A and B are shown apart, each in its own frame.
Chain A
Amino acid sequence: MRHVISILVDNEPGVLARIAGLFTARGFNIESLCVAETEKPSYSRLTLVTSGDDWIIDQIIKRFENMINVIKVDDFKYEESIQRELLIARVFPTSKTRSEVLRVADIFRAKVVDVGTKSYALEITGSKDKLEAFVSILKPLGLKEINRTGLISLKREKN
């Protein structure tokens, strides 16, 4: 099963290596990983997407919690959290598909962030499914290159 794990850590050198190292040492796989400073500069938040059976996820979380530099670990369930990812795509349309690309961008609420004589660069944010749909539609229209940030996540307010 796919899990989104959010980890609050000390903003110190070597902490990321320690976290990532745990995955290699135990043969677990990371699907995506995103790190940045939080509202407090001394902390960083790491959002990590991984998959595995219950035992693996249980072990990963326990071992994270045992690390001295780890402050808090959350295993987010999909319904309880907001999940977003940013994607930048470069599309090389033909003269025929040029306007079609812009129309697709409009439907997906993507922004044009760079224009050249041969290509557009489009920026889009959203859930994993939305980004994948966006990519699959642009592919026949001349999509050549994409880059994604990996998932970031925040807990929803409880009602």
Chain B
Amino acid sequence: MKKFLGAELFFETLYKLGIKIIFGLPGGYVLKIYDVMPSYSKKIKHILTRHEQAATHMADGFSRASGLPGIILCTSGPAATNTITGISTAYDDSVPVLIFTGQVPTPFLGSDAFQEADHIGITRTCTKHNTLVRKTVDLPKAIAEAFYISNTGRTGPVLVDMPKDVLISESEFKFPKSIQLKSYKDKFPLIKKDYMSFIEKFKNSKKPLFLFGKGACSSDSSSKIKKILNNFKLPAVTSLLALGLLNKSKYNYGLIGSHGSDSSSKLLKDCDLLISIGCDLKKIVSEDELKNKSVININIDKVDLNNKRKSNLNIHCDSTEFLNKLLKEKNVNFSWDSLELEELKMLDIKNKDKEIKSNPKAYVMHNISKLLPENTIYCSDFSYEDVNLQKFLNITDYKNNILSGGNGTPGYGFPAAIGATFSRPRNKVVSISSGKNFQFNMQEMIVAVEQKINLTIIVLNDTHKSKYKGPNYELLAKSFGVKSIRVKNNSNFEKNIKSFLIRKGVTLIEILI
């Protein structure tokens, strides 16, 4: 049988798993992989980034925009530690990414060798699983398992640590026919008894409210959910990460939580049953808000069931199965007042208009959104106080809504936007950052230019009058070879940026707020 180098096995396995793109940066212990890369360059594209954190965010953005896992390759020590922020971001939002790190040769493990770090130990709390490969022959199996774990059940990041001697020794290519893990489950069927108790509670309630989180988002769930809401004529709200899931549905009442719409908080107050699907309730509603209400929590991960928020019924199952079942139910009537619901919608529109007039940032977001095509991917990166701006963007699909939710990572949006352009090159991709957040990963502009992608970067410069004014982003972008303009937020604003927004290539618009 033909023998392969460990580094070749790495590519052979990735190719077999259907991976077409990896983000990474070379370094001492993974040089063998970069040595053999030219012979695989037609099958697997490598994007050279300038910082490992940005590589992780790119893979994360790629994954969120496409639904496929994102791949990161980097060396040991400082490179691996640089990825931690990115891994943690992906972990908090359950994004499937695979991180491949180089490591010192196995005989030197634990000897404080040059660029050595305990990757397994460091990433233990921010990965779904991590593993150290000790023999070349085990490499394909380890990668295939990591891919499977990362991409099934509640998805999440998985790290594979590859010592240098594993990459430079030879072995046969043994790709596992099937993955067998003793206790790991990838499917969580809906138990009939659970469903019956759900139906009983559901039918007995007067004013139920649906809350959809990221766990409810999958390829065809959007149309199913809209159908369910139409069947029952029930209002629904979404979490920040599921924004866009209910786009264009008559029953969509937008975002819930501290940054949410006024109608959503009113609905939450009025409802007698809250049905949360695929949500981390403790991050979205307070215990007080759930007083005197019945709560049904449906989640694929039992850790998020009964976790710091009361729940009258916990259902541990896959949301798609639950939605399929619920789709068949019909002829249940509830006592939401349709007139009142319409009034709430009007109230939302009124409040939104008010805020657009009073908040210059909201005005900018609203107008930019108006000028952009329908299916634009928005990669936003607001500071904490500005997260409510997300609702002024015209997000038409949950895959178009790319932001760091749980971790709130500054500097996430721009590299994630670069990643997103590779997954759906036909879509318009826009990165919107506040100036201070953009500075975290601005070096990646050179990557965007090198890769000749189409990307519009919008920087909201709200500190240009303050003591810590930051750089002139227009000039900064020019030095990277990015076409840029600097505009003031005045009545000519729309006219000034219109032609720039539709321009091809990498462009940067600095808006002085």
Contacts and interface: CB of A to CB of B under 8 A. Distances in A.
Interface stretch (A62-70, A131-139, A143-151): A62-70
B120 interface: yes
B196 interface: no
5 contacts: A55-B306, A59-B303, A62-B303, A66-B303, A67-B129
A59 B305 CA distance: 9
Contacts of B121: 17, 21
A58 interface: yes
B442 interface: no
A71 B180 CA distance: 13
A63 B308 CA distance: 15
Interface residues of A, number: 18
Interface string B98-141: 00000000000000000000001100110011001000000000
A25 B125 contact: yes
A67 B129 CA distance: 7
Contacts of A71: 182-183
Contacts of A111: none
B311 to A, nearest CB: 12
Interface in B282-307: 301-303, 305-307
A18 B149 contact: no
A109 to B, nearest CB: 39
Contact of A68 (B129, B132, B303, B307): B129
Contacts of B149: 68
B132 A55 contact: no
B302 A17 contact: no
Contacts of B303: 59, 62-63, 66
Contacts of B307: 55, 59
Contact of A62 (B124, B129, B302): B302
A130 interface: no
B105 to A, nearest CB: 17
Interface in A1-44: 10, 14, 17-18, 21, 25
**The 10 residue pairs across chains A and B that have the minimum distance between CB atoms:** A71-B183, A68-B129, A25-B125, A62-B303, A62-B302, A21-B124, A71-B182, A68-B184, A63-B303, A14-B120
Contacts of B125: 21, 25
A94 B442 CA distance: 77
Contact of B306 (A18, A58, A67): A58
Contacts of A63: 303
Nearest to B145: A68
Interface residues of B, number: 19
Interface in A32-88: 55, 58-59, 62-63, 65-68, 70-72
Contacts of B183: 65, 68, 70-72
B181 interface: yes
A76 B174 CA distance: 42
For the complex, would chain A's binding face be called helix, strand, loop or mixed by DSSP majority? helix
Interface of B: 120-121, 124-125, 128-129, 132, 149, 181-184, 301-303, 305-308
A66 B182 contact: no
Most buried by A among B182, B183, B302, B308: B183
Nearest to A71: B183
Given A21-B124, A63-B303, A70-B183, A14 B129 contact: no
Given A55-B308, A65-B302, A68-B149, A10 B182 contact: yes
A72 to B, nearest CB: 7
Contacts of A25: 125
Nearest to A66: B303
Given A68-B149, A71-B182, 20 more contacts: A10-B182, A14-B120, A14-B132, A17-B121, A18-B124, A21-B124, A25-B125, A55-B307, A55-B308, A58-B306, A59-B303, A59-B307, A62-B302, A62-B305, A63-B303, A66-B301, A68-B181, A68-B183, A70-B183, A71-B183
Q: For B121, B182, B308, which residue has the most chain A Cβ atoms within 10 angstroms? A: B182
Contacts of A10: 182
A111 B132 CA distance: 45
A3 to B, nearest CB: 17
A14 B122 CA distance: 12
Contacts of A62: 302-303, 305
Nearest to A13: B132
A62 B184 CA distance: 13
A72 B83 CA distance: 32
A91 B360 CA distance: 79
Nearest to A25: B125
Nearest to A24: B125
B193 to A, nearest CB: 20
B219 to A, nearest CB: 25
A127 B71 CA distance: 52
B182 to A, nearest CB: 5
Contacts of B308: 55
A25 to B, nearest CB: 5
A120 B301 CA distance: 54
A63 B305 CA distance: 12
A59 B306 CA distance: 9
A117 B119 CA distance: 52
B185 to A, nearest CB: 10
Residue with the greatest number of chain B CB neighbours at <10 A, chosen from A18, A21, A66: A66
Contacts of A72: 183
Nearest to B124: A21
A79 B307 CA distance: 28
Contact of B124 (A17, A55, A59, A66): A17
Contacts of B305: 62
Contacts of A67: 129
A28 B149 CA distance: 27
B134 to A, nearest CB: 9
